[in-house]
Amino acid sequence: MKTIRKDWPRIRQQVKAGKYVPLGKARVHRDGGFWRPSVPSPRLPRDLHRLQLPYRKRPSQAPRTSKRRGASREGREGREEQKEFRESPRKMVWFLRHETTRTAWRPCGRRWILRLCVRAPNALTTAMSNTPIFTPQVRHHPNAPVVTNVEAIRGSGGNCHVTLTQFPARLLATIGLIVLLGGFAGAADSYEENPGAEGDGKVTIGPDYQIAPDLTDRGNPKGKSFEFSLPLADSKIFRGDDSTLVPEKKPVRKERKISVYVPAAYHDGDKAPLLIIHDGPGQLKLVRNALDNLTISKDPNRKLPAFIAIAVENGGNDGKKSERGLEYDTMSDRLARFIHDEVLPAVLNDTEIKSAFPKLAFTENPWGRAVMGCSSGGAAALSMGWFRPDWFRRVIAYSGTFVAQQDEDAPDQAKYPFGAWEYHSEMKLIENSPRKPLRIFTHVSENDLRPKDPEETHHNWVMAGERTAAALEAKGYHHRFVFSLGTGHCDHRVFEQTLADTLVWIWRGYHDE
Write out pLDDT tens, residues 286-319: 999 999 999 999 999 999 999 999 999 999 999 9
Question: How many Å separate Cα 476 from the centre of its chain?
Answer: 22
Which amino acid is residue 322, in one-letter code? S
DSSP letter (8 states) at residue 222: P
Helix (H) or strand (E) holding 384: helix 376-387
Integer-rounded Cα radius of gyration of the chain:
28
d(CA 404, CA 479): 23
The residues spanned by each domain of the chain are 2-63+78-187, 193-506
- What is the model's pTM? 0.68
pLDDT at 188: 58
Residues in the chain: 513
DSSP track, 47-95: GGGGSPEEP---S--SPP--STTTTSHHHHHHHHHHHHHHTS-EEEEEE
CB 442 within 8 A of CB 394: no
Cα dihedral: 199, 203, 205, 209 (round 10)? 20
Output phi, psi for 231, to 5 deg: -65, 135
Q: CA-CA-CA-CA torsion for 104, 107, 108, 113, nearest 10 degrees?
A: -40
Going residue by residue through the chain, which has 513 residues, state the pLDDT in tens, using 9 for 90 and above.
444 445 556 656 665 565 544 444 334 444 444 444 444 444 444 444 444 444 344 444 444 444 444 445 545 555 554 554 344 433 333 333 333 333 333 333 333 333 333 334 444 444 444 444 333 343 344 444 443 443 343 344 433 443 433 334 445 555 555 555 455 455 556 888 999 999 999 999 999 999 999 999 999 999 999 999 999 999 999 999 999 999 999 999 999 999 999 999 999 999 999 999 999 999 999 999 999 999 999 999 999 999 999 999 999 999 999 999 999 999 999 999 999 999 999 999 999 999 999 999 999 999 999 999 999 999 999 999 999 999 999 999 999 999 999 998 888 888 999 999 999 998 999 999 999 999 999 999 999 999 999 999 999 999 999 999 999 999 999 999 999 999 999 999 999 999 999 999 999 999 986
**Residue 169, number of CB atoms within 10 A of its CB:** 7
pLDDT of residue 414: 85
Taking the C-alpha atoms of residue 189 and residue 173, their distance in angstroms, rounded to an integer, is 24
DSSP string, 465-493: HHHHHHHHHHHT-EEEEEEETT--TT-HH
**In CATH, which superfamily holds the domain spanning 193-506?**
Alpha/Beta hydrolase fold, catalytic domain (3.40.50.1820)
Bridge pairing between strands 137-140 and 146-147: antiparallel
Which residues, in sequence order, are bridge partners of residue 54?
A: 34
Q: 53 and 20 in contact (C-beta within 8 Å)?
A: no
User: Dihedrals φ, ψ of 311, to 5°?
Assistant: -100, 125
Torsion of CA 268, 273, 278, 279, to 10 degrees: -20
pLDDT at position 213: 97
